[in-house]
Structure 1
């Protein structure tokens, strides 16, 4: 049975981890993704990559930001405000995970 610990959350979503299987669950808006640690890092890297490519253009035009997933028929769409909250959630979560790893090694 899963026992969850919250890694991080904000007004749009949260990242939790099962203490038993170590899977991560990223809940954001109406979407929940179940990810391994490596998948979470790849997803976070992809979000950062897209963010750095489109930061100013989508802010000015107010167009949706689209993110293709590993599943060929699924694309995620975000408003600029949602996108910023997702970036913030992932960045802070990675920091929290990194800090936990450092503390665990001490």
Structure 2
């Protein structure tokens, strides 16, 4: 049975960590994923890089033309606005996850 700890939550979704199975659950829009901590870190990096690239390229804000690999057979298809919301969610979740990891290690 999962024992979830909320890492981040907003109107668009949430990121939680299960203390028992050591996985991270990501809900965003209509998508729900369960990934490892390593995969979450990889996804966060992809989102950050895509945000930087799209900002520099002055993107079309309302076109779903941004693809973020989520799993081996799944991707997020986002607008720039959705991408920035996902980036904020991932940044908050990552910071709290790292804090919890340090506190549990001590």
1:8–1:92: 8 Å Cα contact kept in structure 2?
A: yes
> Which structure has more strand as a fraction of its residues?
2
TM-score computed with the length of structure 1 as normaliser: 0.84
The answer for the alignment partner of 2:34 in structure 1 is: 34
Distance 1:99 1:65, change over 3 A: farther
Tell me, what secondary structure is at the counterpart of 2:66?
Answer: strand
User: Any unmatched runs of 5+ in structure 1?
Assistant: none
State the shift of 1:68 in Å.
4.4
Q: Tell me how far 1:36 sits from its aligned partner.
A: 0.2
Residues 4 and 18 of structure 1 are in contact (CA less than 8 Å); yes or no, is this contact kept in structure 2?
yes
Question: Where in structure 2 are the equivalents of 1:64-103 lying within 5 Å?
Answer: 64-69=64-69, 70-71=71-72, 74-103=74-103
> How many matched pairs?
103
In 2, Cα distance between equivalents of 1:16 and 1:33: 11
Alignment RMSD (CA, Å): 1.7
Contact 1:10 1:85 in 2 (8 A): no
TM-score by length of 2: 0.84
More helix by share: 1
| Aligned-partner Cα distance in 1 for 2:91–2:16 | 14
CA-CA distance at 1:9 after TM superposition: 0.7
